[in-house]
Structure 1
Amino acid sequence: MQTKSLIKYIRQGIPILFILILFSFSIMAIVSELKKDSIESVWLYLKSIPHWHKLTALAMTILGYGLMTGYDLLGFAHIRQKLSPLKVAFTAFISYAIGNTVGFSVLSGTAIRYHYYGLAGVSQVKIAELIIFTHLTFWLGLLSISGVVSLVDPLTLPSTLKLPFDSIHPLGYIFLSLVLIYFILSVTLKHSIKLKEEEITFPKPIISIGTIVVAGLDWGLAAGVLYLLLPVSNSMTYIGFFGIYIIALTAGLISNVPGGLGVFETVMLYLRPQSVSPSDMLGGLIAYRIVYFFIPLIVALVLIGIQAWKTKNKL
């Protein structure tokens, strides 16, 4: 029994150890990039960001998180359940605000949806189907947008990476091929899975197209927030910058480091235009973390507190 328990603890600890190692390497890489700069230069860039850029970035963040609720609204259309759009928006916002910042969105977002949608009377099976839908369509949207950007304005990759291709152009064909396979399956697969008294079906093509539109606007706004907070407009087009953003975002997601912290910044630093100094890039990334991650997190925690207070007073 002790041996089995030990093996269980080791298996549980390996992913955490891997995340810590990856995070440590990311921090070391950031420090290495900043060795010619000082913390003061990062702070100076933060103070130099125009106020209208900060306010516009905040407005785009609000709009972006509003768009994220579209994933859940489309999900409810897919699972054929009716729920007040306000309740859906409330739960979706909290789920994304906490999941994006804390990380492990598969766990944190899932727990939040089970709690609030369960209180609203949605069955556990339907909530599970909704969660599968949101995660599936998230990657569908990401592959679709990444594929288009990779073909329209392919990013040239640094030779130091020693990859078999010089740009992300080939990845565009791979990503869009995966999206095409998905749509073929959505048209041809007519069978549903019976689970208890509920049926789980493959999303209809029209709903999948809707999620791609939502994803395109969502990621477009998210990249736009960072683009506004960085001094890259004179050296790189928005589309070209979007390619870097998607690569950094994907690396952060795959790493499983909470919020992609460190990993996202490392990729952005390595792929930045040469005209942008590491300290300016890091300053913009810190501003982005504050505007796009921490402010929504604070709002979400306040909303949770208000909701808990209302529930307590009703009892």
Structure 2
Amino acid sequence: MTSRDNDVFEATTPGLPVVRPQASGGFFESLRERLPRGALSALGVAASLAVFALAAYILGRTLSRLSYADLLNAFRATSGAQILASLALSALSYLFLTGYDVVALYHMRTRAPYRVAALASFASYAISFNLGFPIITSAAVRYWIYSRVALNALQVANITVFAGVTFWLGMTLVMGVGFIYGADALETLDGLPAFLHIIPGVLILAGVLFYFAWVTVDRRSIRLRGHALELPGFVPTLAQFALGVADLCCAAGALYVLLPQGVPLDFVPFVAVYVVACILGVISHAPGGIGVFEATMLHAIPAASHESILASLLLFRMIYYFLPFVVALALLGADEGARRWATLRDAIARILEERSN
């Protein structure tokens, strides 16, 4: 969470983030001050456009060569067992996502019923995955739900930031392991020597271990635009890694089980490819990484035909993204309807009681 440099505010809730004014400094602060105003934003936009344009080019070339008859046959070749397995793994992934909010509330020493935390987490992710702009959309959905149990905007911002950190910790750990243990398989995909996958994998895991040790030996905070953000300790950080890895592996598994038979790619290197595709999707700012994710996976996964992989990707998009989106909207509608009915029922009961007296 950030603010303008002259803003002064402090979280009243313990946990991540506790924001306190500090003197500016450090490499990134110095870099931001030296660059022309808006330069970093312009670079970010340029990177997003470049990734999206490249993905659109790759996807366009692939689609131009497709046989739509073969694509329909690939859909028909997907078994009911594959779809059920994908549904089950998707449900597990979203179940682990609800843990993000539970751990955040524990770290903040804030109480909320699990049903509230589960609805807030599930709905926020299901909606933000499809609409994009997750910082805005997920925070808005969370605030709409958590405000009913007296959580304020800053507490909801804390939960949103904590959940984002959990997601990236899991992503980083899985990518490091995938690059190391899937180096040989990745070499056959991109043609790069195995050591060029192992080296970044080792560096990533070293960074993960350093971060884990750094935040657990003492209370730590980082500075962001002149403000200090307190980091969680041993137990919450361990839970963050566990939940992030479990969620990501289940999400990747939901796609992996949909792949056609005979794809020469084990699960570990597949997860590494999946993580890279997710990161490129995030960089592109496309909702759910749509187009970018598919282009990356089509380019990276070896198969007898692009039609079979595209069919798996489209089914995954429906199961993991669109279906939870519909369920989330239905749950939010039902929840709001139940709240309004409870209010109306109480009002009617009071009126009848007054008239009887």
TM-score norm. by structure 2 comes to 0.76
- Give the aligned residue type for 2:132: G
- Are residues 1:257 and 2:289 paired? no
Shift of 1:302: 0.6
The 1:174/1:15 distance shift into structure 2, 3 A limit, reads closer
The structure having more radius of gyration, on CA atoms, is 2
TM-score norm. by structure 1 comes to 0.85
- Are residues 1:283 and 2:311 paired? yes
The 1:288/1:125 distance shift into structure 2, 3 A limit, reads same
Shift of 1:158: 2.0
Q: Is the 8 A contact 2:170 2:244 kept in 1?
A: yes
Q: Tell me which residue corresponds to 2:328.
A: 300
Q: Is the 8 A contact 1:129 1:200 kept in 2?
A: no
- Are residues 1:310 and 2:335 paired? no
Q: Distance in 2 between matches of 1:29 and 1:236?
A: 21
Shift of 1:128: 2.0
- Give the aligned residue type for 2:327: V
How many residues end up aligned between the 2 structures?
299
Structure 1 residues without counterparts, runs of 5 or longer: 1-7, 194-198
Pick the aligned partner of 1:70 from 74, 83, 99.
Answer: 99
Q: Is the 8 A contact 2:120 2:146 kept in 1?
A: yes
Q: Tell me which residue corresponds to 2:157.
A: 128
Q: Distance in 1 between matches of 2:137 and 2:208?
A: 27
Q: Tell me which residue corresponds to 1:207.
A: 236
Pick the aligned partner of 1:227 from 239, 245, 256.
Answer: 256
Q: Distance in 2 between matches of 1:101 and 1:141?
A: 21
Q: Distance in 1 between matches of 2:133 and 2:95?
A: 21
- Give the aligned residue type for 1:73: V
Q: Tell me which residue corresponds to 1:241.
A: 270
Q: Tell me which residue corresponds to 2:175.
A: 146
Deviates most, 285-294 or 50-59: 50-59
Q: Is the 8 A contact 2:47 2:283 kept in 1?
A: no
Q: Distance in 2 between matches of 1:119 and 1:98?
A: 19
CA displacement 1:111-152 (0-9 Å, x = unmatched): 111221122111322222222211112111111111112111
Shift of 1:20: 6.2
Q: Is the 8 A contact 2:219 2:232 kept in 1?
A: no
Q: Distance in 1 between matches of 2:46 and 2:242?
A: 37
Q: Is the 8 A contact 1:230 1:280 kept in 2?
A: yes
The 1:148/1:166 distance shift into structure 2, 3 A limit, reads closer
Q: Distance in 2 between matches of 1:282 and 1:167?
A: 28
Identity of aligned residues (%): 29
Q: Distance in 2 between matches of 1:242 and 1:12?
A: 30
Q: Is the 8 A contact 1:231 1:276 kept in 2?
A: no
- Are residues 1:109 and 2:141 paired? no
The 1:260/1:271 distance shift into structure 2, 3 A limit, reads same
Q: Is the 8 A contact 1:187 1:205 kept in 2?
A: yes
Q: Tell me which residue corresponds to 2:86.
A: 57
The 1:191/1:48 distance shift into structure 2, 3 A limit, reads closer
Q: Is the 8 A contact 2:166 2:243 kept in 1?
A: no
Shift of 1:305: 1.1
Q: Distance in 2 between matches of 1:177 and 1:23?
A: 31
Aligned residue for 2:257, secondary structure, equals: helix
